[in-house]
Structure 1
Amino acid sequence: MKIPVTAIHLPTRPGREYESRFDREQSLLKMLAIPIASVILASMVTTLPIFTAEPLLPPFGLLMMLGWRLMRPGLLPVWSGLPFGLMDDLFSGQPFGSAGLLWSLAMLALEIIDSRAIWRDYFQDWLIAALLITAVLLGGLWIAGLAHTAPEPSLLMPQIVLSILLYPLVVRICARLDSWRLAT
Protein backbone atom coordinates (compact mmCIF):
# COMPACT_ATOMS: atom_id res chain seq x y z
CA MET A 1 0.00 0.00 0.00
CA LYS A 2 1.37 3.35 -1.03
CA ILE A 3 0.94 6.41 1.15
CA PRO A 4 0.35 9.55 -0.89
CA VAL A 5 2.97 12.24 -0.35
CA THR A 6 1.79 15.79 -0.57
CA ALA A 7 4.11 18.64 -1.35
CA ILE A 8 4.64 21.27 1.30
CA HIS A 9 4.31 24.76 -0.06
CA LEU A 10 6.08 27.49 1.82
CA PRO A 11 4.41 30.88 1.85
CA THR A 12 6.08 33.27 -0.56
CA ARG A 13 5.59 36.85 -1.45
CA PRO A 14 3.16 37.28 -4.30
CA GLY A 15 4.84 37.13 -7.66
CA ARG A 16 8.23 35.97 -6.34
CA GLU A 17 9.58 32.51 -5.99
CA TYR A 18 11.98 31.66 -3.21
CA GLU A 19 15.43 32.88 -4.13
CA SER A 20 18.68 32.04 -2.45
CA ARG A 21 20.31 34.91 -0.60
CA PHE A 22 23.75 33.60 -1.51
CA ASP A 23 25.65 35.10 -4.40
CA ARG A 24 23.21 37.93 -5.08
CA GLU A 25 24.37 41.07 -6.77
CA GLN A 26 23.83 44.25 -4.88
CA SER A 27 22.09 47.27 -6.27
CA LEU A 28 24.68 49.65 -7.70
CA LEU A 29 22.30 52.56 -7.21
CA LYS A 30 21.90 51.72 -3.52
CA MET A 31 25.65 51.24 -3.11
CA LEU A 32 26.46 54.68 -4.52
CA ALA A 33 23.42 56.73 -3.58
CA ILE A 34 23.38 56.16 0.18
CA PRO A 35 26.76 57.80 0.98
CA ILE A 36 26.13 60.66 -1.43
CA ALA A 37 22.60 61.31 -0.21
CA SER A 38 23.65 61.13 3.44
CA VAL A 39 26.34 63.79 2.98
CA ILE A 40 23.97 66.07 1.07
CA LEU A 41 21.15 65.63 3.60
CA ALA A 42 23.59 66.26 6.45
CA SER A 43 24.65 69.50 4.76
CA MET A 44 21.01 70.54 4.59
CA VAL A 45 20.71 70.42 8.40
CA THR A 46 22.11 73.95 8.53
CA THR A 47 18.87 75.24 6.99
CA LEU A 48 16.95 74.35 10.15
CA PRO A 49 15.71 77.45 12.00
CA ILE A 50 18.10 77.35 14.95
CA PHE A 51 18.99 80.78 16.26
CA THR A 52 22.03 81.40 18.47
CA ALA A 53 24.22 84.40 19.16
CA GLU A 54 27.34 82.53 18.07
CA PRO A 55 27.98 79.64 15.68
CA LEU A 56 27.08 76.43 17.47
CA LEU A 57 25.63 74.05 14.90
CA PRO A 58 28.32 71.58 13.73
CA PRO A 59 28.99 71.19 10.02
CA PHE A 60 27.13 67.88 9.73
CA GLY A 61 27.93 67.52 6.03
CA LEU A 62 31.64 67.68 6.77
CA LEU A 63 31.27 65.27 9.67
CA MET A 64 29.35 62.82 7.49
CA MET A 65 31.90 63.05 4.68
CA LEU A 66 34.77 62.49 7.12
CA GLY A 67 32.88 59.63 8.73
CA TRP A 68 32.37 57.86 5.41
CA ARG A 69 35.92 58.54 4.23
CA LEU A 70 37.59 57.36 7.44
CA MET A 71 35.33 54.34 7.83
CA ARG A 72 35.46 53.21 4.17
CA PRO A 73 38.63 54.72 2.64
CA GLY A 74 37.97 53.64 -0.95
CA LEU A 75 34.30 54.57 -1.07
CA LEU A 76 34.47 58.30 -1.79
CA PRO A 77 37.01 59.44 -4.38
CA VAL A 78 39.45 62.21 -3.54
CA TRP A 79 37.74 64.69 -5.85
CA SER A 80 34.37 64.26 -4.08
CA GLY A 81 35.29 67.00 -1.60
CA LEU A 82 34.70 69.63 -4.26
CA PRO A 83 31.07 68.83 -5.20
CA PHE A 84 30.14 68.07 -1.59
CA GLY A 85 31.71 71.34 -0.44
CA LEU A 86 29.97 73.34 -3.17
CA MET A 87 26.67 71.74 -2.18
CA ASP A 88 27.35 72.68 1.44
CA ASP A 89 28.12 76.25 0.42
CA LEU A 90 24.63 76.53 -1.05
CA PHE A 91 23.06 75.70 2.31
CA SER A 92 25.51 77.12 4.85
CA GLY A 93 25.73 80.71 3.69
CA GLN A 94 29.52 80.71 3.50
CA PRO A 95 31.14 82.41 0.49
CA PHE A 96 30.58 80.14 -2.49
CA GLY A 97 33.57 77.91 -3.08
CA SER A 98 35.06 78.14 0.41
CA ALA A 99 33.83 74.73 1.56
CA GLY A 100 34.61 73.33 -1.90
CA LEU A 101 38.23 74.35 -1.44
CA LEU A 102 38.52 73.38 2.23
CA TRP A 103 36.76 70.02 1.88
CA SER A 104 38.95 69.20 -1.14
CA LEU A 105 42.03 69.98 0.92
CA ALA A 106 40.67 67.80 3.72
CA MET A 107 40.16 64.91 1.30
CA LEU A 108 43.70 65.37 -0.03
CA ALA A 109 45.04 65.33 3.54
CA LEU A 110 43.12 62.11 4.21
CA GLU A 111 44.55 60.57 1.04
CA ILE A 112 48.09 61.46 2.14
CA ILE A 113 47.45 60.02 5.60
CA ASP A 114 46.03 56.82 4.08
CA SER A 115 49.02 56.39 1.79
CA ARG A 116 51.52 56.77 4.62
CA ALA A 117 49.77 55.03 7.52
CA ILE A 118 50.18 51.30 7.95
CA TRP A 119 47.15 50.98 10.21
CA ARG A 120 44.81 53.22 12.15
CA ASP A 121 42.46 52.61 15.01
CA TYR A 122 39.29 54.37 16.09
CA PHE A 123 40.99 56.96 18.29
CA GLN A 124 43.44 57.90 15.55
CA ASP A 125 40.50 58.39 13.18
CA TRP A 126 38.85 60.60 15.81
CA LEU A 127 42.05 62.63 16.20
CA ILE A 128 42.41 63.00 12.42
CA ALA A 129 38.77 64.10 12.16
CA ALA A 130 39.24 66.56 15.07
CA LEU A 131 42.24 68.17 13.38
CA LEU A 132 40.47 68.40 10.02
CA ILE A 133 37.26 69.78 11.57
CA THR A 134 39.26 72.46 13.38
CA ALA A 135 41.25 73.33 10.26
CA VAL A 136 38.15 73.52 8.03
CA LEU A 137 36.18 75.68 10.48
CA LEU A 138 39.10 78.06 11.05
CA GLY A 139 39.79 78.14 7.31
CA GLY A 140 36.13 79.00 6.69
CA LEU A 141 36.39 81.83 9.21
CA TRP A 142 39.52 83.11 7.49
CA ILE A 143 37.89 82.98 4.03
CA ALA A 144 34.78 84.74 5.34
CA GLY A 145 37.11 87.33 6.89
CA LEU A 146 38.44 88.21 3.45
CA ALA A 147 35.07 89.69 2.53
CA HIS A 148 34.02 91.09 5.92
CA THR A 149 35.65 91.77 9.22
CA ALA A 150 36.00 88.37 10.85
CA PRO A 151 35.34 87.84 14.53
CA GLU A 152 37.90 86.32 16.85
CA PRO A 153 38.69 82.63 16.26
CA SER A 154 37.79 81.93 19.89
CA LEU A 155 34.16 82.48 18.87
CA LEU A 156 34.29 79.14 17.04
CA MET A 157 35.44 77.14 20.08
CA PRO A 158 31.95 75.90 21.10
CA GLN A 159 31.24 74.81 17.52
CA ILE A 160 34.60 73.06 17.21
CA VAL A 161 34.22 71.25 20.53
CA LEU A 162 30.64 70.19 19.77
CA SER A 163 31.66 68.99 16.30
CA ILE A 164 34.51 66.91 17.70
CA LEU A 165 32.28 65.41 20.38
CA LEU A 166 29.52 64.56 17.86
CA TYR A 167 31.91 62.82 15.46
CA PRO A 168 31.47 59.35 17.08
CA LEU A 169 27.69 59.66 16.71
CA VAL A 170 28.07 60.53 13.04
CA VAL A 171 30.38 57.54 12.52
CA ARG A 172 27.73 55.34 14.18
CA ILE A 173 25.13 56.71 11.75
CA CYS A 174 27.50 56.02 8.85
CA ALA A 175 28.01 52.46 10.10
CA ARG A 176 24.24 51.89 10.28
CA LEU A 177 23.77 53.30 6.80
CA ASP A 178 26.66 51.18 5.57
CA SER A 179 25.16 47.97 6.95
CA TRP A 180 21.85 48.86 5.27
CA ARG A 181 23.72 49.72 2.06
CA LEU A 182 25.51 46.39 2.00
CA ALA A 183 22.46 44.32 2.89
CA THR A 184 20.86 42.44 0.02
Structure 2
Amino acid sequence: MEQLDPRARSDIYGRRINRTSSPLRRRSVPYASIMLGSVLPVLLMADLMPLLPSLGFLMLLGWRMVRPGVLPLWAGAPLGAFDDLFSGQPFGSAILLWSLAMIAIELIETRFPWRDFWHDWFAASLLALTYWSAALVISGAPLTPEMFAVAAPQAALAVLLYPMIARLVAWLDRFRLSRARTID
Protein backbone atom coordinates (compact mmCIF):
# COMPACT_ATOMS: atom_id res chain seq x y z
CA MET A 1 0.00 0.00 0.00
CA GLU A 2 1.35 3.36 -1.02
CA GLN A 3 1.98 5.91 1.72
CA LEU A 4 0.59 9.40 1.16
CA ASP A 5 2.61 12.47 1.87
CA PRO A 6 1.41 13.86 5.29
CA ARG A 7 0.81 17.29 3.77
CA ALA A 8 -1.34 15.82 0.99
CA ARG A 9 -3.33 13.75 3.50
CA SER A 10 -3.98 16.76 5.73
CA ASP A 11 -5.02 18.73 2.65
CA ILE A 12 -7.53 16.03 1.70
CA TYR A 13 -9.16 15.95 5.13
CA GLY A 14 -8.48 19.57 5.99
CA ARG A 15 -11.10 20.76 3.55
CA ARG A 16 -13.80 18.98 5.53
CA ILE A 17 -12.72 20.18 8.99
CA ASN A 18 -13.77 23.60 10.26
CA ARG A 19 -15.87 24.22 7.20
CA THR A 20 -18.10 27.27 7.16
CA SER A 21 -21.14 28.08 5.14
CA SER A 22 -21.53 31.01 2.85
CA PRO A 23 -22.28 34.23 4.76
CA LEU A 24 -24.58 35.35 1.95
CA ARG A 25 -26.58 32.12 2.17
CA ARG A 26 -26.71 32.26 5.97
CA ARG A 27 -28.22 35.73 5.90
CA SER A 28 -30.44 35.60 2.82
CA VAL A 29 -32.26 32.25 2.97
CA PRO A 30 -34.68 33.14 5.81
CA TYR A 31 -35.61 36.49 4.28
CA ALA A 32 -35.86 35.13 0.72
CA SER A 33 -38.09 32.23 1.80
CA ILE A 34 -40.45 34.57 3.69
CA MET A 35 -40.60 36.95 0.74
CA LEU A 36 -41.29 34.06 -1.66
CA GLY A 37 -44.04 32.92 0.69
CA SER A 38 -45.58 36.39 0.47
CA VAL A 39 -45.62 36.26 -3.33
CA LEU A 40 -47.01 32.72 -3.78
CA PRO A 41 -50.65 33.34 -2.67
CA VAL A 42 -50.97 35.96 -5.41
CA LEU A 43 -50.58 33.21 -7.99
CA LEU A 44 -53.70 31.39 -6.72
CA MET A 45 -56.20 34.21 -6.51
CA ALA A 46 -59.96 33.83 -6.55
CA ASP A 47 -62.28 36.70 -7.46
CA LEU A 48 -62.10 38.50 -4.15
CA MET A 49 -59.39 36.90 -2.09
CA PRO A 50 -56.50 34.46 -2.37
CA LEU A 51 -57.23 30.77 -1.89
CA LEU A 52 -54.11 30.23 0.22
CA PRO A 53 -53.44 31.80 3.61
CA SER A 54 -50.56 34.19 4.03
CA LEU A 55 -47.66 31.83 3.41
CA GLY A 56 -45.22 34.65 4.13
CA PHE A 57 -46.67 35.04 7.62
CA LEU A 58 -46.57 31.27 8.16
CA MET A 59 -42.93 31.21 7.01
CA LEU A 60 -42.17 34.05 9.43
CA LEU A 61 -43.78 32.04 12.23
CA GLY A 62 -41.88 28.94 11.13
CA TRP A 63 -38.50 30.66 11.13
CA ARG A 64 -39.15 32.33 14.45
CA MET A 65 -40.39 29.13 16.12
CA VAL A 66 -37.98 26.59 14.61
CA ARG A 67 -34.87 28.81 14.67
CA PRO A 68 -35.52 31.56 17.25
CA GLY A 69 -32.23 33.42 16.90
CA VAL A 70 -32.17 33.80 13.12
CA LEU A 71 -34.59 36.70 12.70
CA PRO A 72 -34.26 39.81 14.86
CA LEU A 73 -37.32 41.21 16.57
CA TRP A 74 -37.55 44.17 14.19
CA ALA A 75 -37.66 41.95 11.06
CA GLY A 76 -41.47 41.90 11.11
CA ALA A 77 -41.68 45.51 9.92
CA PRO A 78 -39.72 45.32 6.62
CA LEU A 79 -41.01 41.84 5.81
CA GLY A 80 -44.55 43.00 6.56
CA ALA A 81 -44.03 45.97 4.24
CA PHE A 82 -43.00 43.58 1.47
CA ASP A 83 -46.08 41.46 2.15
CA ASP A 84 -48.32 44.53 2.03
CA LEU A 85 -47.10 45.26 -1.48
CA PHE A 86 -48.29 41.86 -2.74
CA SER A 87 -51.25 40.95 -0.54
CA GLY A 88 -53.66 43.71 -1.49
CA GLN A 89 -54.20 44.63 2.15
CA PRO A 90 -54.00 48.32 3.13
CA PHE A 91 -50.37 49.35 3.41
CA GLY A 92 -49.21 49.10 6.98
CA SER A 93 -51.53 46.30 8.08
CA ALA A 94 -48.95 43.52 7.74
CA ILE A 95 -46.26 45.82 9.15
CA LEU A 96 -48.32 46.21 12.31
CA LEU A 97 -49.59 42.63 12.53
CA TRP A 98 -46.23 40.99 11.76
CA SER A 99 -44.45 43.22 14.27
CA LEU A 100 -47.04 42.37 16.92
CA ALA A 101 -46.66 38.68 16.10
CA MET A 102 -42.88 38.91 16.51
CA ILE A 103 -43.35 40.55 19.90
CA ALA A 104 -45.88 37.88 20.90
CA ILE A 105 -43.48 35.09 19.88
CA GLU A 106 -40.72 36.76 21.87
CA LEU A 107 -42.98 36.84 24.93
CA ILE A 108 -43.86 33.16 24.41
CA GLU A 109 -40.17 32.25 24.15
CA THR A 110 -39.27 34.07 27.36
CA ARG A 111 -42.23 32.62 29.26
CA PHE A 112 -42.01 29.04 27.94
CA PRO A 113 -38.41 28.24 26.93
CA TRP A 114 -39.07 24.48 27.27
CA ARG A 115 -41.75 24.26 24.59
CA ASP A 116 -41.95 21.45 22.07
CA PHE A 117 -43.49 21.01 18.63
CA TRP A 118 -47.05 20.76 19.92
CA HIS A 119 -46.74 24.02 21.86
CA ASP A 120 -45.23 25.69 18.80
CA TRP A 121 -48.06 24.39 16.61
CA PHE A 122 -50.66 25.65 19.09
CA ALA A 123 -48.99 29.07 19.36
CA ALA A 124 -48.54 29.36 15.59
CA SER A 125 -52.17 28.34 15.03
CA LEU A 126 -53.38 30.90 17.53
CA LEU A 127 -51.24 33.62 15.94
CA ALA A 128 -52.32 32.61 12.42
CA LEU A 129 -56.01 32.71 13.36
CA THR A 130 -55.54 36.07 15.08
CA TYR A 131 -53.72 37.38 12.01
CA TRP A 132 -56.46 36.02 9.73
CA SER A 133 -59.27 37.67 11.69
CA ALA A 134 -57.39 40.97 12.09
CA ALA A 135 -56.60 41.03 8.36
CA LEU A 136 -60.32 40.57 7.61
CA VAL A 137 -61.22 43.48 9.87
CA ILE A 138 -58.45 45.74 8.50
CA SER A 139 -59.26 44.93 4.86
CA GLY A 140 -62.28 47.21 4.87
CA ALA A 141 -64.57 44.59 3.34
CA PRO A 142 -68.04 44.24 4.85
CA LEU A 143 -67.92 41.60 7.57
CA THR A 144 -70.83 39.40 6.61
CA PRO A 145 -71.39 35.74 7.45
CA GLU A 146 -70.77 34.94 3.79
CA MET A 147 -67.35 36.62 3.95
CA PHE A 148 -66.40 34.52 6.98
CA ALA A 149 -67.69 31.36 5.26
CA VAL A 150 -65.59 32.09 2.17
CA ALA A 151 -62.49 32.95 4.21
CA ALA A 152 -62.77 30.14 6.77
CA PRO A 153 -60.93 27.56 4.60
CA GLN A 154 -57.92 29.90 4.65
CA ALA A 155 -57.90 29.81 8.43
CA ALA A 156 -58.21 26.02 8.55
CA LEU A 157 -55.47 25.65 5.94
CA ALA A 158 -53.19 27.99 7.91
CA VAL A 159 -53.54 25.75 10.98
CA LEU A 160 -52.99 22.56 8.98
CA LEU A 161 -50.03 23.89 6.99
CA TYR A 162 -47.84 24.79 9.97
CA PRO A 163 -46.23 21.31 10.37
CA MET A 164 -45.24 21.33 6.70
CA ILE A 165 -43.95 24.89 7.01
CA ALA A 166 -41.89 23.90 10.06
CA ARG A 167 -40.44 20.94 8.13
CA LEU A 168 -39.65 23.20 5.17
CA VAL A 169 -37.97 25.73 7.48
CA ALA A 170 -35.86 22.95 9.02
CA TRP A 171 -34.78 21.82 5.54
CA LEU A 172 -34.03 25.40 4.50
CA ASP A 173 -32.02 25.86 7.69
CA ARG A 174 -29.90 22.81 6.87
CA PHE A 175 -29.39 24.22 3.38
CA ARG A 176 -28.57 27.63 4.84
CA LEU A 177 -25.86 26.21 7.08
CA SER A 178 -24.45 23.66 4.64
CA ARG A 179 -21.13 24.20 2.99
CA ALA A 180 -21.21 25.08 -0.67
CA ARG A 181 -19.61 22.43 -2.82
CA THR A 182 -16.44 23.54 -4.49
CA ILE A 183 -14.89 22.12 -7.61
CA ASP A 184 -11.34 21.00 -6.97
1:128 aligns with 2:108: no
User: Where does 1:1-184 land on structure 2 (aligned, <5 Å)?
Assistant: 18=12, 19-51=14-46, 55-145=50-140, 148-152=141-145, 154-155=148-149, 156-184=151-179
Question: How far is 1:133 from its partner?
Answer: 0.2
Change in 2 beyond 3 A, CA 1:6/1:93: same
* Residue of structure 1 in register with 2:182 after alignment: none
Question: How far is 1:6 from its partner?
Answer: 8.7
* Counterpart AA for 1:34: V
Distance in 1 separating the partners of 2:103 and 2:47: 33
Gaps of 5+ in 1: 9-16
Q: Does the Cα contact within 8 Å between 1:56 and 1:162 map onto a contact in 2? A: no
Structure 1 length normalisation: TM-score? Answer: 0.84
* Counterpart AA for 1:45: L
Q: Does the Cα contact within 8 Å between 2:64 and 2:71 map onto a contact in 1? A: yes
Question: How far is 1:27 from its partner?
Answer: 1.6
Gaps of 5+ in 2: 6-10, 180-184
Deviations 1:61-84 (A, max 9, x none): 001110010001111011111111
Q: Does the Cα contact within 8 Å between 2:41 and 2:51 map onto a contact in 1? A: no
Distance in 2 separating the partners of 1:123 and 1:53: 33
Change in 2 beyond 3 A, CA 1:6/1:114: closer
Question: How far is 1:49 from its partner?
Answer: 4.3
Question: How far is 1:21 from its partner?
Answer: 1.2
* Counterpart AA for 1:78: L
Deviations 1:87-130 (A, max 9, x none): 11111100011011001000000001111113001011000000
SS of the aligned residue for 2:139 comes to: helix
Query: How many percent of aligned residue pairs carry the same amino acid?
Result: 45
Normalized per residue, the structure richer in helix is: 2
Question: How far is 1:25 from its partner?
Answer: 2.6
Question: How far is 1:181 from its partner?
Answer: 0.9
* Counterpart AA for 2:155: I
Q: Higher Cα Rg: structure 1 or 2?
A: 1
Cα root mean square deviation, aligned: 2.0
Question: How far is 1:56 from its partner?
Answer: 2.9
* Counterpart AA for 1:183: S
SS of the aligned residue for 1:82 comes to: helix
Distance in 1 separating the partners of 2:80 and 2:143: 21
